[in-house]
Amino acid sequence: MCGIFGVINKKIDRELADKCVDRMEHRGPDGRGLWQEKDTTLGHRRLAILDLTEGGAQPMMYPYDSGRYVLSFNGEIYNFVELRDELRAVGYEFRSDSDSEVVLASYMEWGEKCLERFNGMWAFLIWDREQEKLFIARDRFGVKPLFYVQPDGDGNGAALAFGSEMKVITPLMDEIKPNRSLVTDPERIVFYESTDECVIEGIKRFPAGSYAYADKNGMKITRWWNTLDNLVTVPDSYEEQTELFRNLFLDACKLRMRSDVTIGTALSGGLDSSATICAMAYLSGNDKDIRMNRDWQHAYVATFPGTTMDESEYARKVTDYLGIDSTFVTIDPLKAFPKLDDLIYLFEDVYLTSPIPMMLLYGALREDHTLVTIDGHGADELFGGYTFDFIHALRDARGAKERDMVLDAYTGSFPDDGSNISLKSKGKTSVYLNYIKRSIKDRLRSGKEGYKRVRAAGDERYRRMDTLNKILYASSHETILPTLLRNYDRYSMANGVEIRMPFMDHRIVTLAMSIGWKSKLHGGFSKSIVRDAMAPYMPKEIAYRRTKIGFNTPIVEWMQGPLKEYFMDMISSSSFKNCDLIDPALTASGVLEVINNSSATFAMGEQAWSKLYPYLWEKNVLRRL
């Protein structure tokens, strides 16, 4: 896991190249490399995870006799052991225990078809010195970021620059301006990550599941992965589907336990992260894979004492069940906010919520020398874990029995708005109708535009999906999940920590999009196939826990309590009043409404923060680039 940088068709001096490379030092604190030849530059910052020796240093040249290909690689190829054995059998030589060599040899052997063989997450650049051509590739779902810019304008022969973060390539730009229509619109913030649009004008996002060749004649991007092209035939029975998922999930976790450094888990006590660490525990005791790291017993739990966001009691049930210790990381806003300016700079994008809890949690892993965390991200979007999913599932239900199954699956996670007191006192139908009446418009408002324009809508395979899977496809490929993948890359890599996500194994994603809605709500539980598959390895009260909190910032409690003075000073400052990316009076009014209202809701706090964020972004990102 690293940071990459590259420029073609433009000779840049070493001092400028060093500046670009070292802007991502946080992504790769273990080493740096810079290779230049003619009008081509490749740079690299290394976070050493596999083969900690210099044998894994980059930029890497291969084969050893000619050095024809030069690689700058960010990511992990989890099945590198199997691919290396296959390549050795046809004559390839390897001198390290690094997956980077395997990427180069795979490209030599199979060209762009090598991407179809990789199980992992990646963004990489391979320069062909003989043909003077660059190969660029990004993983199926965009787990690893990649940005590019044409610093000298469009056209054949124009320079192209690539980087793992926007700040890496802005030193090559003559002018740095915000994409105002994006930065200032909270409705769009959660939907642009799956497009090429960025918050800085002139910079584009290289698309997920795509590759390109670039030379003096320009760059042509080709999409190589589409989940809809890879849907699978699943067994008819739910029990067989559950067994299939279990086997795939355990294998996905095993592959992600291949590491030469300590591994752990960011544990919330919810289903997804708990299933992940319990799978690791099972594998450690029952699988003989010699490349699997068995030093996994490191659970890190973010705690918010005295707030509604605290889930530490549930996390403790999991670690007590496994017989391991928990590291509880208290998220103290008074200690964190002095770092806020730097945290926003490292995050570099715009979002609805504060990055503080997540960045502090992964910072605790780094301080404890746990450099890889295997987390549960992706399950909600793939298997129907969000409350608003029930509306779409109800459209699939036929008859009272199926409708009751849907309502059972989601009622336990409905927000307590004072109306749905309990199922027992009001009944399923009353709860459903009351929920629709009082909160459905608000719950869907932020998502309506994104879901209305699903890019796969014209595909016959998408149209054949049931209603729940259609919304889950949008959530996992176009709206929520791409944004979360972006966010967690920044949260972790700001601290030099790598997140691995077994739910994002492409075999699991294709399975999730291939099974019907009933397999995700079987027995009246959301994400039922995950629960039933992993229940044998984890506490039953966690496997079938209905309540859902989510990892977020208790922003209302903070604004009304320890950070009240901080926010009051902010909205009184001259820089705030002169920021043209916000409406200062309206934004200040929203902040004061939260601070002075004892009944302020989380939604109000989130809205106030999202209106503040453009100001914080301008102050801490735009002015530092």
User: Which CATH number fits the domain that encloses residue 115?
Assistant: 3.60.20.10
Q: Tell me what pLDDT residue 450 has.
A: 42
Per-residue pLDDT, 21: 98
- Of 43, 101, 116, nearest to 67 by C-alpha is 101
Other beta carbons less than 10 A from residue 469's beta carbon? 24
Q: Give residue-wise pLDDT tens across range 380-414.
A: 999 999 988 888 898 999 988 998 899 889 876 54
Residue 37 in domain: yes
Helix (H) or strand (E) holding 69: strand 69-77
Question: How confident is the model over 332-360, as a mean pLDDT?
Answer: 92
* Model pLDDT, residue 549: 75
Same-domain check for residues 170 and 294: no
Q: Which of 176, 192, 225 is the last residue of a domain?
A: 225
* Tokens linked to 365: 């892993």
Q: What digits encode the pLDDT tens for the residues 122-138?
A: 999 999 999 999 999 99
For residue 516, give the 3-state DSSP assignment.
Answer: coil
Are both 438 and 498 inside the same structural domain?
no
Distance of CA 546 to the CA centre of its chain: 24
Q: Which residue segment(s) compose the domain that 270 sits in?
A: 235-381+491-543
pLDDT above 80 (res 533): yes
33 domain-assigned: yes
DSSP helix/strand/coil, 15: helix
**What's the CA gap between 73 and 1, in Å, rounded?**
8
Inform me whether the pLDDT recorded for 177 exceeds 80: yes
- Evaluate the CA torsion angle 263, 267, 270, 274 in order and state its sign: positive
User: For the chain, what is the domain count?
Assistant: 4
Q: What percent of the chain has pLDDT over 70?
A: 92
User: Of all residues in the chain, what percent carry a pLDDT higher than 90?
Assistant: 82
CA distance linking residue 540 with residue 314, whole number of Å: 12
Residue 241: phi, psi to the nearest 5? -60, -40
Contact 108, 86 (CB under 8 A): no
Examine the domain organization and report whether 14 and 83 are in the same domain.
yes
Q: How confident is the model at residue 205 (pLDDT cuts 50, 70, 90)?
A: very high
Question: Which tokens belong to 339?
Answer: 């770092």
Q: Assess whether 414 and 436 both reside in one domain.
A: yes
List, as one string, the DSSP characters of 413-449: TS---SS---HHHH-HHHHHHHHHHHHHHHHHHTTHH
In a domain, 476, yes or no: no
In a domain, 230, yes or no: no
Task: For 135, list phi and psi in degrees, rounded to 5.
Answer: -105, 125
Tell me whether residue 125 is in a domain: yes
Q: Across the beta sheet with 326-330, what order do the strands follow?
A: 326-330, 299-303, 263-266, 372-374, 498-500
Residues 462 and 346 in one domain: no
Q: What pLDDT score was predicted for residue 415?
A: 45
- Whether residue 482 lies inside any domain: the answer is no
For residues 446 and 369, membership in a common domain is answered with: no
221-230, 423-432, 537-546: lowest mean pLDDT where? 423-432
Give mean pLDDT, residues 409-430. Answer: 50
The b-or-e profile of 384-393 (16+ CB within 10 A means b, else e) is: bbbbbbbbbb
Residue 476 confidence class, pLDDT cut points 50, 70, 90: very high
> What is the Cα–Cα distance from 291 to 210, expressed in whole angstroms?
30
Give the HSE-up count for residue 331: Cα atoms under 13 Å, Cβ half-sphere: 28
**And the tokens for 163?**
């980087």
Q: Is residue 431 part of a domain?
A: yes
On whether both 71 and 190 belong to a single domain, the answer is: yes
What CA–CA distance (Å, rounded) separates 442 from 432? 15
Judgement on whether residues 221 and 354 belong to the same structural domain of the protein? no
Cα distances from 144 to residues 139, 182, 397, in angstroms, run 7, 22, 37
**H or E element that contains 329:** strand 326-330
Q: Are both 432 and 377 inside the same structural domain?
A: no
Asked if 304 and 206 sit in the same domain, the reply is no
Is the distance from CB of 146 to CB of 138 less than 8 angstroms? yes
- The pLDDT assigned to 51 comes to 96
pLDDT at position 430 is 57
Residue 417: the pLDDT is 40
pLDDT tier at 284 (50, 70, 90 boundaries)?
A: very high
Give the residue from 433, 468, 503 where a domain finishes: 468
Concatenating the DSSP letter of every residue in 136-187 gives EEE-TT--S--EEE-TT-SSTT--EEEESSHHHHGGG-S---B-HHHHT-HH
**Higher pLDDT pick, 157 / 385:** 385
Please state the φ and ψ torsions of residue 87, each to the nearest 5 degrees: -75, -35
Of 408, 380, 332, 299, the closest CA to residue 561 belongs to: 332
pLDDT average, residue stretch 436-455: 50
DSSP-based three-state secondary structure for 218:
strand
Spatial CB neighbours of 547, under 8 Å, sequence gap ≥ 6: 412, 413
If asked whether residues 442 and 499 sit together in one domain, one would say no
pLDDT value at residue 102? 98
User: Tell me, what amino acid is at 499?
Assistant: I
Read off the pLDDT of residues 537-568 as tens digits, 9 standing for 90 and up.
Answer: 999 999 999 887 777 889 999 999 999 999 99
DSSP state of 353: S
How is the chain split among helix, strand and coil, in percent rounded to 5?
Answer: 50, 15, 35
Claim to verify: residue 527 and residue 582 sit in the same structural domain = no
Instruction: Tell me what the pLDDT averaged over the chain comes to.
Output: 92
In CATH, what number is assigned to the domain containing residue 305? 3.40.50.620
For 340, the 3-state DSSP assignment is helix
- Half-sphere exposure of residue 533: CA atoms within 13 angstroms, side-chain side: 26
Cβ atoms of residues 438 and 421 within 8 Å: no
How many whole angstroms separate alpha carbon 152 and alpha carbon 159? Answer: 6
